[in-house]
Amino acid sequence: MNIDKLIEKYKEHKNDTGSVGVQIILLTGQIADLVKHLKEHKKDHDSRRGLLKMVNKRRKLLNYLSKIEPEKYQKIIADLKLKK
């Protein structure tokens, strides 16, 4: 999964970092990095809490996107290989 290519695909203008699709993609990249960190550092509970907050924020953004733009939601879910 290449985050940069997905951002290029879903951004709405040149310097877009705030649209819902781009935020979901950025959060997914951060979540993947944090999961890799937590596999090595199992007792890092502060990072685990941050991971849970990120996952929750991504879920809220995905729920919002599914209500506003269902087609875009389905495309992002497929591109990121997320479970519904």
pLDDT band at 16 (very low <50, low <70, confident <90, very high): confident
User: Residue 34's pLDDT is what?
Assistant: 97
pLDDT higher than threshold 70 for residue 1? no
User: Residue 68's pLDDT is what?
Assistant: 96
Contacts of 25 (CB under 8 A, 6+ apart): 3, 6, 7, 10, 76, 80
User: Residue 2's pLDDT is what?
Assistant: 84
Report pLDDT digits (tens) over 49-82: 999 999 999 999 999 999 999 999 999 999 999 9
The CATH number of domain 3-80 is 3.20.20.140: no
Contacts of 10 (CB under 8 A, 6+ apart): 19, 21, 22, 25, 72, 76
- Domain coordinates of the chain in residue numbers? 3-80
Give the predicted TM-score (pTM) of the model. Answer: 0.90
pLDDT higher than threshold 80 for residue 84? no
